[in-house]
Amino acid sequence: MPRGIAKSDLPSKPCARCGRPFTWRKKWARDWDQVKYCSDACRAARQSDKQSPEGGAR
């Protein structure tokens, strides 16, 4: 008999940057409501998107 919760029963939500759905992780248990991004790459890219000027030509 397997223990714990099946992965299909865990909560999920879409990434704020790429839109890919991601599921709950144990390390996010306390902060699940504040988690917005599926990965460090999306989080870093989102921060750099905010800092770079839009439509800037070189």
pLDDT of residue 26: 92
With beta carbons less than 8 A apart as the criterion, state whether 20 and 14 touch: yes
Which residue in 33, 11, 13 sits closest to 21, CA to CA? 13
- The whole-angstrom separation of Cα 47 and Cα 39 is 13
DSSP H or E stretch at residue 14:
strand 12-14
pLDDT of residue 58: 45
Q: DSSP 3-state assignment of 21?
A: strand
pLDDT of residue 17: 94
Residue for token pair 């917005």: 36
Task: Give the residues of the chain that fall short of pLDDT 50.
Answer: 56, 58
The model's pTM: 0.69
